[in-house]
Structure 1
Amino acid sequence: MAPSEPVRIPPQVPPGEGAAAGTGQPFRPGEARTPRITAVLDGRVAFLGLLATALGLALGFIAEGLLRLIGLVTNLAYYHRFSSSFTSPAGHHLGWGALFVPVAGGLVVGLMARYGSTAIRGHGIPEAMEQILLNESRIPPRITLLKPLSAAVAIGTGGPFGAEGPIIATGGALGSLVGQFIAMSALERKTLLAAGAAAGMAATFGSPVSAVVLAVELLLFEYHPRSIIPVVLASVAATAVRYSLVGSAPVFSMPILASPTGTALGIYIAVGALMGLASVGVTKAVYHLEDTFERLPIHWMWWPALGGLAVGLIGLWVPRTLGVGYENIQGVLSAQLVGTTLLTLFVAKFLSWAIALGSGTSGGTLAPLFTLGGALGALTGGLLAALFPHLGVDPRICALVGMAAIFAGASRTMLASAIFVFETTLQPLGLLPLLGGCAAAYLVSALIMRRSIMTEKLARRGVRVPEEYASDYLDQLLVRDFASRNVLTLNADDTLREARAWLEADARGAAHHGFPVIDGEGRALGVLTRRDLLDPARTPDAPLRSLIGRPLAVALEGNSLREAADHMVRERVGRLLILDEAQRVVGILTRSDLLEAHAERLRHSERALARDAGAPLPRPGQAG
């Protein structure tokens, strides 16, 4: 029996008297099933890659269409003209009349959420994560239409959000929709959802690498070729469409940066740590405002209109806060916004965005956080450059670090944040400060705040979100290293009466619950449990071979413990025989052996922690 090939596989049968359930045909003792060998990739991944590529191409055009839809709503609401050009509402001439535009937009979004779908509320990524974790990545089809429409209304009427969040949510919904129309597993559907989301982000900003990394850090909950390849193909396809439509120039252009000195690099990392503190404050403020809205004695449908009122009032004070505000990010990075203008933008944008998002309207977090982080970073850098000019601090690099680090701290997407700012500015000399600043922000945020702005809402609903991606421990271990070698076997030609007598006389049998049955040549025919042997309904004079009621569930010494554990679940057994090539029993693997493997992992971990802390080491067999 070759290690990678299963032996003859008869139909699955439950314990019985030797007949295959539902077939009426007896099986031959000795027939066995071995674990499925785990494959890294198969032809199905190529099929998903083709679907993801088509999805990416479609989302390249959809993203452009949503931007034009936002532009159309903005032009109609603020300039009373029919045009789809993407423009800022900050230059309107409505006077006090502009106060009611965000209110009207909030009212429309509230109606769409109540009578369409409540899933359009919020910035979309937590909702997509919830569908992945709880609903096999099945997003209702109507979200594919309602999410972009509601976002276009909210942002076009002055909502202080970026277009990327709704586009990411729309892409994820479209990927899920494709996965629901075509027969596929939940894992494959999740891959298409993540591919759609990544394609939406890549199509908006021309940032395929950060889009892939964001999908890994927030949506896939794994790093595996079967998932990464389709996501990459979707992101590249969407970016290609963007390049064909608007060109390949960076979204946020800025002057060429100088290489940072060692001292300046340390300061940029400290700025990242400051952004980590800011991300904690921003996250807590958003959820505090959300809790405040929850306590209002009116239906939640009206909350976006109230949030719109705050947006309108703040917009009268600082018109720059209205709309997506990409021009604000551009102004911060090119040092066109400085001093009190920056400080006013930071305060006003934060209040407008936090209140609007807390009200449950449809909008995103990425662009507003980049605006806040960029403004705060530029302010810090400008102050340091004025007070300590000899340090060589560049306020523009501080703005870059602030943008990426505040999002890294708030969302816990350290790599995606750093790569995104690099891709959207194409400043290679800023990459090192970005990595250091994002790492510092992530560290500070994680030490202070248990959950991120993406996962807090899910945690409040009782959803547990994976926070670490590690290789499967059981997949690294082999059966031969954990199988028990002291196997007690029964002779197939013995009678049940003889087996019972042996159980009563031999104390060794008391520690075992399953016994392999072997023939005269030592080959395994099946397994009988203690319950089988002591069943009073059995005929005492029946030979043991006649009591075998199901095919053998076996493993080979070269199988991994993960393959063996999965095989136990499929076969609904608590033990697997370990056979050699002649089908002779050389060991047995039980559920207790699998637990012992995990206990060994815990002991190693606790020894390392105890060694670092100077505490007594755990004793062998003590898992803590």
Structure 2
Amino acid sequence: MGLEAAYAQAGGGIASLIGQWLNLRRNDLRVLVGAGAGAAIGAAFGAPLTGAFYAFEIVIGAYTPASIAPVVAATLAAVVTARTLGATPYLIAATSSQSLETVDYLLYAILGLACALVGIALMRLVSLAEACVRRTPLPEWARPIVGGALLIPIALASPHALSAGHGALHLTIGGELAIGALAFIFVLKCLASVVSLGFGFRGGLFFASLFLGALLGQILAGLWMLIPGVVSLSPVDAALVGMAALAVAVVGGPMTMSLLVLEATHDFGITAVVLTATLCSSALVRERFGYSFSTWRLHLRGEVIRSARDIGWMRSLTARKMMRAAPATALPTLSMSDFRQQFPLGSTSRVLLQDRSGLYAGLVPTAAVFADLGSAERAISELAILQNVVLSPEMSIASIMEAFDVSGADDLAVVDEDRRILGMLTEKYVRKRYADEIDRSQRDLYGEN
């Protein structure tokens, strides 16, 4: 596991506290949190562009004119501060070793697709390990102890599998290790990461995915070169491409990883190839899996987050905040004639029925009462609809719209847990409010408000 997740969370957390203290607007707070997380990543790698695009792609979810200046300023300041204080960045020292031809783009695109499949398998293995550990009788406090014991033989077999792999990455890129040795280290590192996360160790797969991708790239390049008469592939180039492509599959952010390679090599040629591979990797993961490592873990916990796109406003916009309080109500025993006198046509389109205990008993459309040709002394409860279809005050706007779709109703009552009427919502108003909120969030995102 790597330390970069902790850096990003610490940077974003500090920024969030500052933003809440300053009482910033929601979108401004998101930009500030992204700037904090990106600054931490930029300082860790000594790569300001990487940090900035980490903020744009992973945290904020968009690259907009309103966020460019604060995010880039934060990452530049972080890198300069880290260098001034003498911190040693994790930037990978490597250079492209051969000229790249058109056919290399195709070969490395295939490598990107292979990395995507490995990334998906790795994420599923981690979730499987976590599920298996939760089914055991081990108490939560004992799980890291057992996990640490399982890591001992792995570490004895290969120290490369330890920690995040910062030092091991420098040793393996360009180290001219045999394919068997690379494959052995790759398997052990995958196993170590799965065991660590499965048994409750805290950390992420940011740098671990870079290390595994570099190993996978060299392994596949070596296997390719065993085929007689094929176009040669540089192990160093394959390591750089694999490093970025597998990291994109696990973490996300194709531009982030491409710029990491650019700032490591200062070579635009290899960066173009890396970008091709990362886009292929990102597309395959998005189409066949749909999650990054972080959003996949949130999905397993019941969340619906798939990307950095802001959906928090949908949860905060509840029925309680949108409902119209004190709607028109009537007793279910009220006669048709009395109802027509009390609620003439044009006064209201619907009336909620409330029994003598103050509980919801259904909804009566006003037009239906006036169109009824039966006895005028009958109770209006005979025309009541939607007795069992109601909204709770804490339902989000997404759940409310789903309830309207399922019921086919135009109006629904908002009731508490005891079925006491709190208010009412119309589908027309909810749809309009949803459209207005999307438009407002887009204007906030692009700094138009």
* TM-score class normalised by the smaller sequence: 0.5 to 0.7
Q: Quick one: which amino acid aligns to residue 261 of structure 1?
A: E
TM-score between both structures, scaled by the size of structure 2: 0.66
Q: Quick one: which amino acid aligns to residue 134 of structure 2?
A: E
8 Å Cα contact 1:162-1:323 kept in structure 2: yes
Deviations along 1:115-173, one digit per CA (max 9) or x if unpaired, are: xxxxxxxxxxxxxxxxxxxxxxxxxxxxxxxxxxxxxxxxxxxxxx2222211121112
2:19 corresponds to 1:185 = no
Q: Quick one: which amino acid aligns to residue 282 of structure 1?
A: L
Pairing 1:59-98 to 2, within 5 Å after superposition: none
2:111 corresponds to 1:295 = no
Larger RCO, structure (CA 8 Å, separation 6 or more): 1
Structure 2 Cα separation of the partners of residues 248 and 431 of structure 1: 23
Pairing 1:201-240 to 2, within 5 Å after superposition: 201-240=41-80
- Residue 200 of structure 2 corresponds to 360
2:288 aligns with one of 433, 448, 453: 448
Deviations along 1:186-210, one digit per CA (max 9) or x if unpaired, are: 3333322222111111111012212
- Per the TM alignment, residue 417 of structure 1 is displaced from its structure 2 partner at its CA by 2.0
Question: What SS does the corresponding residue of 1:391 show, helix, strand or coil?
Answer: coil
TM-score between both structures, scaled by the size of structure 1: 0.49
Pairing 1:280-429 to 2, within 5 Å after superposition: 280-388=120-228, 390-429=230-269
- Residue 12 of structure 2 corresponds to 172
Deviations along 1:433-465, one digit per CA (max 9) or x if unpaired, are: 111111111122223213221112212233222
- Per the TM alignment, residue 469 of structure 1 is displaced from its structure 2 partner at its CA by 5.7
Structure 2 Cα separation of the partners of residues 459 and 396 of structure 1: 36
- Specify whether residues 263 and 379 from structure 1 end up closer, same or farther in structure 2 by C-alpha distance, changes over 3 A only: same
- Specify whether residues 591 and 177 from structure 1 end up closer, same or farther in structure 2 by C-alpha distance, changes over 3 A only: closer
- Specify whether residues 250 and 412 from structure 1 end up closer, same or farther in structure 2 by C-alpha distance, changes over 3 A only: closer
- Residue 92 of structure 2 corresponds to 252
Deviations along 1:40-89, one digit per CA (max 9) or x if unpaired, are: xxxxxxxxxxxxxxxxxxxxxxxxxxxxxxxxxxxxxxxxxxxxxxxxxx
- Residue 73 of structure 1 corresponds to none
8 Å Cα contact 1:210-1:420 kept in structure 2: yes
- Specify whether residues 258 and 298 from structure 1 end up closer, same or farther in structure 2 by C-alpha distance, changes over 3 A only: same
Question: What SS does the corresponding residue of 2:294 show, helix, strand or coil?
Answer: coil
- Per the TM alignment, residue 345 of structure 1 is displaced from its structure 2 partner at its CA by 0.8
Q: Quick one: which amino acid aligns to residue 174 of structure 1?
A: I
Structure 1 Cα separation of the partners of residues 95 and 20 of structure 2: 47
Structure 2 Cα separation of the partners of residues 218 and 249 of structure 1: 21
2:105 aligns with one of 227, 243, 265: 265
Structure 1 Cα separation of the partners of residues 162 and 31 of structure 2: 35
Pairing 1:483-494 to 2, within 5 Å after superposition: none
Question: What SS does the corresponding residue of 2:226 show, helix, strand or coil?
Answer: helix
Structure 2 Cα separation of the partners of residues 256 and 451 of structure 1: 31
- Specify whether residues 249 and 385 from structure 1 end up closer, same or farther in structure 2 by C-alpha distance, changes over 3 A only: farther
- Specify whether residues 360 and 428 from structure 1 end up closer, same or farther in structure 2 by C-alpha distance, changes over 3 A only: same
- Specify whether residues 246 and 421 from structure 1 end up closer, same or farther in structure 2 by C-alpha distance, changes over 3 A only: farther
Structure 1 Cα separation of the partners of residues 101 and 63 of structure 2: 35
- Specify whether residues 335 and 265 from structure 1 end up closer, same or farther in structure 2 by C-alpha distance, changes over 3 A only: farther
Q: Quick one: which amino acid aligns to residue 48 of structure 2?
A: P
Structure 1 Cα separation of the partners of residues 15 and 431 of structure 2: 41
Matched residues, percent identical? Answer: 25
- Per the TM alignment, residue 235 of structure 1 is displaced from its structure 2 partner at its CA by 0.6
- Per the TM alignment, residue 510 of structure 1 is displaced from its structure 2 partner at its CA by 11
Structure 1 Cα separation of the partners of residues 6 and 434 of structure 2: 47
Pairing 1:492-503 to 2, within 5 Å after superposition: none
- Give RMSD over aligned pairs: 3.4
- Residue 444 of structure 2 corresponds to none
2:36 aligns with one of 188, 196, 203: 196
8 Å Cα contact 2:95-2:236 kept in structure 1: no
Deviations along 1:399-439, one digit per CA (max 9) or x if unpaired, are: 11111111111233222222223223333221111111111
Q: Quick one: which amino acid aligns to residue 159 of structure 2?
A: P
- Per the TM alignment, residue 287 of structure 1 is displaced from its structure 2 partner at its CA by 0.6
8 Å Cα contact 2:60-2:309 kept in structure 1: no
- Larger Rg belongs to: 1
- Specify whether residues 168 and 408 from structure 1 end up closer, same or farther in structure 2 by C-alpha distance, changes over 3 A only: same
Per mean C-alpha deviation after superposition, the further-off stretch among 247-256 and 191-200 is 247-256
- Per the TM alignment, residue 247 of structure 1 is displaced from its structure 2 partner at its CA by 8.2
Structure 2 Cα separation of the partners of residues 212 and 185 of structure 1: 21
8 Å Cα contact 1:198-1:214 kept in structure 2: yes
- Specify whether residues 295 and 249 from structure 1 end up closer, same or farther in structure 2 by C-alpha distance, changes over 3 A only: closer
8 Å Cα contact 1:256-1:427 kept in structure 2: yes
Structure 2 Cα separation of the partners of residues 217 and 343 of structure 1: 31
Show structure 1 runs of 5+ residues with no match: 1-160, 471-503, 514-529, 531-589, 599-624
- Per the TM alignment, residue 306 of structure 1 is displaced from its structure 2 partner at its CA by 1.4
